[in-house]
Amino acid sequence: MKKHILRILGFGLIVWIIPMIVSMGFYSPEGKLTGDLFLFKTVMILVGNTTGCFLLFRLAKLKPESPKTFFTYTGLIWFLQNIGLDLLILIPMSGMSVPAYFVQIGLRYLVMIIIGATVGYSIQAQRE
């Protein structure tokens, strides 16, 4: 795990930045949402999950010794990293309160841990 930490952190940044870039297409220069809120949220979930799953697939090619631990920790690292980036950038940019952020966005990041652990446990189960 230690030898792959920079790759995991880099991929965690990618998992955050790609949805951020895509989201910009839904907002006017004045910062107002230009389309349907539910479409926007659905697209964000799809883009984030697709990006994360693709990067987990790339990490699986590293054939970690203990996939359960490796991928569960990867999901946890990405979760913390994305929450941290949102606290530093998204919340000040949006003016959203921290409680509102966690209800509307932050809790959805838990899927990073769930999918990471599922990938790790699936790989481990296949090996046994």
pLDDT in tens, 56-91: 999 999 999 999 999 999 999 999 999 999 999 999
Q: How much is the mean pLDDT over the chain? A: 95
Could you give the CA distance from residue 118 to residue 28 in angstroms, rounded to a whole number?
A: 38
**Does position 1 have pLDDT exceeding 80, yes or no?**
no
Percent of all residues in the chain with a pLDDT value above 70, rounded to a whole number = 100
Give 2's pLDDT tier (boundaries 50, 70, 90): confident
Tell me, what's the pLDDT at 50? 97
Per-residue pLDDT, averaged over 95-109, amounts to 95
**CB-CB contact of 19 with 43 (8 Å):** no
Nearest alpha-carbon partner for 57 in 115, 16, 6? 115
Tell me, what's the pLDDT at 87? 97
Tell me, what's the pLDDT at 103? 95
Q: Which domain holds residue 42?
A: 2-127
Could you give the CA distance from residue 49 to residue 51 in angstroms, rounded to a whole number?
A: 5
- For 101, what's the count of Cα atoms within 13 Å in the CB-facing half-sphere? 18
- For the chain, the domain total comes to 1
Q: What is the pLDDT of residues 30-56, one digit of tens each?
A: 889 999 999 999 999 999 999 999 999
